[in-house]
Amino acid sequence: MTQHLFRLDGKVAAVTGGTRGIGRAVAIGLAEAGADIALLQRNLSQVDVKEEIETKGRVCHIIPCNLNEATQVKEAIPSVVEAFGHIDILVNAAGIQRRSDAVEFSEEDWDDVLNINLKTTWTLCQQAGRQMVSNKQGKIINFASLLSYQGGIRVPAYAASKGGVSQLTKALSNEWAKEGVNVNSVVPGYVATDMNTALINDEERNKQILDRIPAGDWGKPEDFVGAAVFLASDASNYVHGHQLAVDGGWLGR
């Protein structure tokens, strides 16, 4: 009986960032739990994740969604509903990073990071929320960051955007919890993905990070599957506005 709380059979999940890293692992994990998947992605020719999901017996459609194109972002959720008939879960896992000293940080980099990490998250949440509030059910999972809590170094735009994602999650939860819609966020710690290659390759910084993580190692994309399935499933029906840290103990240090 208990394990049924974590099943997603009959559900449709839309996922950004599903072609690599955490987003890919989460999309495949949701499919393994029973959900059909809409991959919101820019590169329509990249079909390896779609094919892997289909080998698990799930339906998967690629929905055109270049996160730099406002029109495509606004049309993405209606396209999911058109393709599947409904949407039950939204996972905002896509994000970008730019590193520079604050005094040299360019306006272009600032705008790019805030647009991708925060504005598109807001737009997709709003579009999905319209469907979910109308249906009186739904799960939205945003990906925040340790830098929703801390300032970081040489990443002012990323810190600002992820602080915004955390606050947006709580703000939407305050409005939509009573409508049967759960809005929560996952807070990744330091994860061995392409975004963190520069840190991993910096011997001094890498050691500083590892010394600070109680678990003693970088996280892996697969470490986020359980958290995402929990927040997408009936097991989290009374969880609203929560920031679920998956960080090897970093925030508890």
Q: pLDDT tens, 182-201?
A: 999 999 999 998 888 888 88
> How confident is the model at residue 47, as a pLDDT?
98
> How confident is the model at residue 195, as a pLDDT?
81
The residue behind tokens 């879960």 is: 89
> How confident is the model at residue 101, as a pLDDT?
98
> How confident is the model at residue 86, as a pLDDT?
98
Nearest Cα neighbor of 72 from 94, 48, 89 is 94
Q: Could you list the active site residues?
A: 158
Domains of the chain: 2-192+220-248 (3.40.50.720)
> How confident is the model at residue 122, as a pLDDT?
98
Report the run of H or E that residue 123 belongs to, with start and end.
Answer: helix 120-135
Q: Are strands 12-16 and 89-92 parallel, antiparallel or unpaired?
A: parallel
Question: Phi and psi for 63 in degrees, rounded to 5?
Answer: -105, 125
Give the count of alpha carbons within 13 A of 89, CB side only: 33
Query: What is the spatial distance between Cα 178 and Cα 240, in angstroms, rounded to a whole number?
Result: 10
Note whether 10 and 233 are within 8 A (CB).
no
> How confident is the model at residue 199, as a pLDDT?
84
| Cβ neighbours around 174 below 10 Å, total | 12
Summarised one tens digit per residue, pLDDT across range 38-61 is: 999 999 999 999 999 999 999 999
One-letter amino acid for residue 74 of the chain: K
Report residues of the chain scoring pLDDT below 70: 1
Q: Give every CB contact of residue 247 below 8 A, 6+ residues apart in sequence.
A: 146, 187, 188, 189, 190, 213, 219
> How confident is the model at residue 197, as a pLDDT?
86
